[in-house]
Amino acid sequence: MKLRTTGSLALALALPIALSAQPPRPDAGVLGIAHIAFRVGDLDREIAFFAKLGYQKSFAITNNGKVTEVFLKINDRQFIELYPQTNPPQPLGWAHVCYEVGDLKTLYNFYDSVGLKLQPVRTSGTGNLISAINDPEGRVTEFAQYLPASKFMQDEGQHIGQDRIATQFLGFDLPVKDGAAQKEFYTDLGFETQEENGNVRLTAPAAPALHIELRTWHQAAQPQILFPVSDARRTENQLKAAGLRAVRDDKLVFVHDPDDNIFVFLELPAGR
């Protein structure tokens, strides 16, 4: 099912229904990354990898006694979601990104008024309000509003590793085939965009520290997940001490998981 309309925001704004539509307040829109999801070849092996980064298992979702999703905690509001391989197999690696929003129903109504057709808002198996839309290249983009009774909020203050290499997501670097279409898509969603060195950099009004970069796709390109750290050299040493193969390039430290997904730890100035 295609989730996104083919009309642009500019065309949608020309419709009478959209003339009175006002963007929601920033605190009702995108607040940051809620989780990034991967499909992995071996759940236990992947959980062990993230344990070396200091990220603990928060909870799992099961269906008929079989684990269908595992959530690992970055902090109380940010998670890594892992899906096991299926039969027949599906491609491993990046599955989707989910953004935390302040008021999903308000945001959904605004998107609908300007021609963006999301899935109906529903309560997910984790207890959050959730909706989704496909980007122009078919990748799923989710939106979640945390609810007090959700599994996420019930785990608040728990499973926070003391040895976390980084304590939050910075963002991600995503290879795309059609930069112009992707820029329009994210602009329609309310992200702020800036072109830099041929790439498109994104942030959100209520999440100015968020760093998303859209770069030109090529055959070997794959997403890179970004984490902020205060000292790249110390991070390199921590990763190696944990038994991981870390490669440092000045202020960047790269490490790969068992499925060859790339995680990048970026040294940022204090206060960033």
Q: How far apart are CA 209 and CA 232, in angstroms?
A: 19
Q: What pLDDT is attached to residue 272? A: 58
Q: What is the pLDDT of residues 72-100, one digit of tens each?
A: 999 999 999 999 999 899 999 999 999 99
Q: How far apart are CA 59 and CA 71, in angstroms?
A: 6
Domains identified in the chain and CATH numbers: 9-154 (3.10.180.10), 171-267 (3.10.180.10)
Q: What pLDDT is attached to residue 197? A: 83
> Which regions in the chain score pLDDT beneath 50?
1-20
User: How far is the CA of 225 from the CAs of 7, 93, 172, 255, in angstroms?
Assistant: 30, 12, 4, 10
CB neighbours of residue 239 within 10 Å = 22
Handedness of CA 38, 47, 221, 97 (dihedral sign): positive
Q: What pLDDT is attached to residue 21? A: 67
Q: What is the pLDDT of residues 246-257, one digit of tens each?
A: 999 999 999 999
